[in-house]
Structure 1
Amino acid sequence: MDQIARTPDEQQLRIDLAALFRIVAKLGLHEAVANHFSAAVSGDGKKFLLNPKWRHFSRIKASDLLLLDADDADAKSRPDIDPTAWSIHGQIHRLMPQARVAMHLHPPFTTTIASLKDPEIKPIDQNTARYFNRMAVDTMYGGMADTEAEGARIAGLLGNRSRLMMGNHGVMVVASTVGEAFDDMYTIERACQILVQAYSTGQPLNVLDDDIAERTAQDWEGISDFSIAHFEEMKLILDSEDPSYRD
């Protein structure tokens, strides 16, 4: 699809999603040339943008993103699509129209917590409390997620939640906007870093009372504009350093 034919909404999504890849690489949260993000461009969510197979996040541009249809049975055979990306994101966008943006990563600290027998993000500070009773957990890791059945299982585990701690694997975040997805993923990784460091001291955790943790999580839910502002500020940094992601 050439740029003239794209709707303004799709073009802006392309720019924002490309920025997201660059920012994640800048923060060191990427996994070599694996992992994938997607964003729905149609009302039913089935038409979506996805990064091409094995392209490093730091090089992705708006024009590189693939426009796919979750109902296209032939897409899984395309050489430019990572089978695990299609299996997971194709099913999420087919089954979860509310998931406008989906991010799957293996960030170091979050994956560390995901690899524990108890992968709960315990509320010990303001960042960790954001996730109090708000993460689905998958404890059934079975290898590479390269089948549509596995993608459907992941979508089912997410249900009406927006975060999935993927045991022995990584994390999945879905959101209404690119900015909200970014800030959520950023804060999950920061929360897990804090928790890993707290565990490493060998001292007992000072876990917040449930009512305080719940109130803190609710306060986070009331400031989505904070998340969007965080993303927009990161885009301004990209624009000053290398705006080629917009191409």
Structure 2
Amino acid sequence: MAPSATQPDVLPGIQLSTKPVDAMAAMAHRGKALPGIPKFASSAKKRQWQLEHMAGAFRVFAREGYAEGISGHISVRDPEFEDRFWINPLGVHFGMLKASDMICVNLDGDVVDGNMAGSINAAGFQIHSAVHRSRKDVHAICHTHSVHGRAWSAFAKPLDMINQDVCYFYKAHSVYSDYGGIANESSEGERIAESLGDGKAAILMNHGLLTVGETVDEAAFLFCLMERSCKIQLLTDRVELEKNIVSDEEAAYNFKMASTPETLFTEFQPHYQYEDYLCNGNFKK
């Protein structure tokens, strides 16, 4: 995952202190640092918090227009049982999902907790179980068939570092270009996980986008950012002018300062809080 926010290398023309850099503290000028990922006294409390944030992320995705039929899924690893994860039920619109709707399955595909009456997307299970199995550091995964993600995926190319925000994916996203149809077989999920490697995101050719994180908030923010980055890439590629690419040094600096699990969690909180405000916390039930 992302490196810790230690002092980055000095860039040309930039004077930096020799003191360690706290990425979270650096967000606020002369103010109190924003709170980061909370700690919990029990697995039960953390589980409920994760499910609430998972449902909130789905509501955000619904407003962003990422829903497409029965496709798309978010999963969160259970805080107590490493071999289990929670995922959304099949056939329920993102904008209707609540914390109590989520289904808990183990890595063998058995439903073990949560909404026992629901079923899950078979392709979704293959993708998410493969990534959870291969990446112990990943606690949340987002995948949908968003419009601009699908459009850019047709080119099977990584994103160019053409602005500050896309640098959050600098040398941390891959392209899966071995499209094998709907991922109903475990082998397709395993190949996607292998393509992701130790990165934060993958562009799945002819398919869509996939992002991961230590929290569902991190993975969800990265998904929203990657979808918008695909849109920006498509827009800029239409113009017959030379693009200015962020240098490797500057991109690495941006990545180190803004792409830690704590900062990416914090980046998602305004989206989550706005959704909470709009529906009066309905998704937390």
TM-score by length of 2: 0.77
Q: Which has the larger radius of gyration?
A: 2
For residues 14-56 of structure 1, the C-alpha deviation after alignment (integer angstroms, 9 at most, x for no partner) is 1110111011111112323311010001456321100001211
Structure 1 residue 185: Cα displacement: 1.1
Q: Secondary structure at the match of 1:55?
A: coil
31-40 vs 54-63, which deviates more?
Answer: 31-40
For residues 32-81 of structure 1, the C-alpha deviation after alignment (integer angstroms, 9 at most, x for no partner) is 33110100014563211000012110000100000111134689xx9712
Count of residue pairs the alignment pairs up? 238
Query: Percent identical across equivalent pairs?
Result: 24
Question: Partner amino acid for 2:84?
Answer: K
Answer yes or no: is the 8 Å Cα contact 2:109–2:125 preserved in 1: no
Distance 1:73 1:179, change over 3 A: closer
Is 1:15 aligned to 2:55, yes or no?
A: no
Match of 1:51 in 2: 88
Any unmatched runs of 5+ in structure 2?
Answer: 1-42
For residues 100-152 of structure 1, the C-alpha deviation after alignment (integer angstroms, 9 at most, x for no partner) is 001112222222221115x1200111122222222121111121011112112
Match of 1:81 in 2: 120
Is 1:173 aligned to 2:208, yes or no?
A: no
Is 1:246 aligned to 2:284, yes or no?
A: yes
C-alpha distance in structure 2 between counterparts of 1:88 and 1:152, whole Å: 7
Any unmatched runs of 5+ in structure 1?
Answer: 1-5
Give RMSD over aligned pairs.
2.1
User: Equivalent of 1:95, from 131, 134, 159?
Assistant: 134
C-alpha distance in structure 1 between counterparts of 2:73 and 2:101, whole Å: 13
Distance 1:125 1:174, change over 3 A: same
Distance 1:203 1:11, change over 3 A: same
Distance 1:212 1:181, change over 3 A: same
Match of 2:147 in 1: 108
The structure that is helix-richer by fraction is 1
Q: Secondary structure at the match of 2:169?
A: coil
Structure 1 runs, 4 residues or longer, greater than 6 Å off: none
Match of 1:124 in 2: 162
Q: Secondary structure at the match of 2:242?
A: coil
Answer yes or no: is the 8 Å Cα contact 1:45–1:98 preserved in 2: no
Match of 1:195 in 2: 233
C-alpha distance in structure 1 between counterparts of 2:95 and 2:151, whole Å: 24
Distance 1:216 1:177, change over 3 A: same
Distance 1:91 1:26, change over 3 A: same
C-alpha distance in structure 2 between counterparts of 1:229 and 1:212, whole Å: 22
Match of 1:3 in 2: none
Match of 1:133 in 2: 171
C-alpha distance in structure 1 between counterparts of 2:247 and 2:47, whole Å: 44
TM-score by length of 1: 0.88
Structure 1 residue 226: Cα displacement: 3.8
C-alpha distance in structure 1 between counterparts of 2:139 and 2:237, whole Å: 35
Match of 1:220 in 2: 258
